[in-house]
Amino acid sequence: MKRIVGIDYGKVRIGLAVSDPSQIIASPLKAVIAKPSLKETATLLLQEISMYEPVEKIVLGLPLMMNGKESPSSKEVRELAKFLEGMTDKTIVLWDERLTTAQVERTLKEAKMRRKKRTQYIDAMAAAAILQNFLDSPSNK
């Protein structure tokens, strides 16, 4: 089977995660710095993703408010998804990312990780949480 990549998009840093080939476990990879434009960011992400081929899907976290409505950041993520769709033949999936960063932040605090160190890991771990939620979802089976 091919891998699936998870992305936690942020205006400054973007977290990346990848599944194992059997698409059961998501692992955090790294965070990359966002580019000035979404098109440049999409190009950067596809370059990063190419290192983990074969990849069949890209799961992009969609920021939603707690009531399920789209947040102001949702539009930007949808635009990024459109750029990615136009630049690759991989399937792009938008996935609800509510509470993933908060969940990861809490886990890192419980592990007594210092704030500076948490900043290094939080984006990639949030991407892994988004991807793991997708992998565990019955709708993905």
- pLDDT tens for 40-64 read 999 999 999 999 999 999 999 999 8
In tens, the pLDDT along 99-136 reads 777 777 777 677 777 777 667 688 999 999 999 999 99
Write the DSSP symbol of residue 53.
-
**Structural domain containing residue 61:** 3-67+99-140
Residue 25 lies in a domain: yes
Residue 28 lies in a domain: yes
Q: Output the pTM of the full model.
A: 0.90
Instruction: Quote the number of domains for the chain.
Output: 1
